[in-house]
Amino acid sequence: MSTPGRGLHGRVLDSLGPAITAGEYPPGSVLRTDELAQHFAVSRSVMREAVRVLESMHLVESRRRVGVTVRPKAAWNLYDPQVIRWRLAGADRPHQLRSLTVLRSAIEPVAAGLAAKHATAEQCAELTECALGMVANSRGHKLEGYLVHDMAFHRVILVASGNEMFARLGDVVAEVLAGRTHHEVMFEDPDPAAVTLHVQVAEAVREGDAARAEQLTREITVGALQELDILAP
């Protein structure tokens, strides 16, 4: 997927990051740079670079005379794509997927409303193309093809919103959608109602109908919440 093993320090991170985010080292645990370097069979300089990165993600804190202490989850940079990936690969994947789906349900409707106002002709075309791709793959065990167009659809919406913060969530949404298809309960074929909603959102955006685009997208996200039994009855 991303960039595995871009140097020695990267491989150390691929090992330490998931371990920490999985709670293998409980908050307050103290690690020593030297010991870690030995354990991973790398030099201290490499180990230090890895620790610096973990520190920039607020996963750990390095203090003199103390060592490298693991910080509580409340301090972690949960929006760091790397951290998201590590956590999605770990044990609390379901919990993580729920949090992100709720986040989606807040963001995407607003983004769709903005997209209806700001989308370029080109983006509208892309959107329609994605929706058609979803329709074409909505029947007959074509989950992978469906997923590709679904991810592209939502990414275009987020980018077309014109808000840089929304646009940056494209990767997160893609992860959630992929996670749902690959690891969670996903019925043989997608819900036809959901497919229709996507087509209608593309329409609404094309016509510049912000309120309708927002409302329709809200229905999509409500469906996503229901799939995970998040909505209270």
Partner DNA sequence: GTGACATATAAGTCTGACTTTTTGGGTCTG
Partner DNA sequence: CAGACCCAAAAAGTCAGACTTATATGTCAC
* Chain residues that interact with its own copies, rule: CB under 8 A: 9, 45, 48-49, 52-53, 55-57, 73-74, 76-82, 99-100, 102-103, 105-107, 109-111, 114, 117, 163-168, 232
Closest distance between its own copies and the C-beta of residue 110, in Å?
4
Helix (H) or strand (E) holding 132: helix 121-136
Q: Which is nearer to DNA, 46 or 116 (CB)?
A: 46
> Of its own copies, DNA, none, which one sits near residue 68, judging by CB under 5 to 8 A according to partner kind?
DNA
- Is 54 a residue that touches DNA (CB under 7 A)? no
Query: Closest distance between its own copies and the C-beta of residue 57, in Å?
Result: 7
Site string for DNA, 112-141 (x = CB under 7 A): ------------------------------
Instruction: Choose from DNA, its own copies, none: what does 79 bind? Cβ within 5-8 Å by kind.
Output: its own copies
Region of 140 please: left (phi>0), alpha (psi -120 to 50) or beta: left
From the list its own copies, DNA, none, pick the one residue 164 interacts with, judged by a Cβ distance below 5 to 8 Å according to partner type: its own copies
Total residues contacting DNA by CB under 7 A comes to: 24
d(CA 52, CA 46): 10
Helix (H, G, I), strand (E, B) or coil at 42: coil
Show contacts of 200-204: CB within 8 Å, 24+ apart.
201/112, 201/127, 201/131, 201/157, 202/124, 202/127, 202/128, 202/130, 202/131, 202/153, 204/112, 204/116
Contact status: 2 vs DNA (CB under 7 A):
no
| 67 forms part of the interface with DNA (CB under 7 A) | yes
Beta bridge partners of 200: none
Nearer to DNA, 51 or 100 (CB): 51
Least Å distance, CB 9 to its own copies, is: 7
Measured between alpha carbons, how far is residue 80 from residues 53, 54, 92, 137, 224 in Å?
11, 11, 17, 32, 23
